Amino acid sequence: MFKTLTIKPGKIIPATLATLLLIGGQVVSAQDKPTLNRAVLLENKIELPSNNINAKIIRVTFPVAFKTPWHTHEGPGPRYVVKGQLKVVEGGKTNTYSVGDVFWESGALMSVENIGEDAAELIIFELAPAN
């Protein structure tokens, strides 16, 4: 013989709510634990010219269609494209970089041109000998 379990209507709602709160509480607590996301964007071993280095972080904004004259920087370092699209000619090689791209500039003769439809922005991390 089978016994039938009878739940009175007044007890179904509180039991259902308690179950939903328990399940919902577990989901919320899992979301409350953010994790750190770390990724190496560029790595380049270099030999520094001296023990005294002047490290600079420079923000450069390129107007639409702007092209720099041929130039050099005081020192090499990574470059990070914050906004826009840039064509970089350095050491006889041409590359195009967009938002989020990181590249290494050697300090050789170069030119940079904004080839995007809006202003472009570049962060320069420069490692130069201290004066």
pLDDT tens for residues 68-102? Answer: 999 998 888 999 999 999 999 998 999 999 999 99
What is the reported pTM? 0.69
Q: Give the separation between CA 89 and CA 113, rounded to whole angstroms.
A: 9
Cβ atoms of 125 and 74 closer than 8 Å: no
Specify the fold of 53-129.
Jelly Rolls (2.60.120)
Q: Give the separation between CA 23 and CA 122, rounded to whole angstroms.
A: 47
Q: What is the pLDDT of residues 10-48, one digit of tens each?
A: 555 555 545 555 555 555 555 678 888 888 888 988 887
- In the block, which residue shows the tokens 């023990």? 51
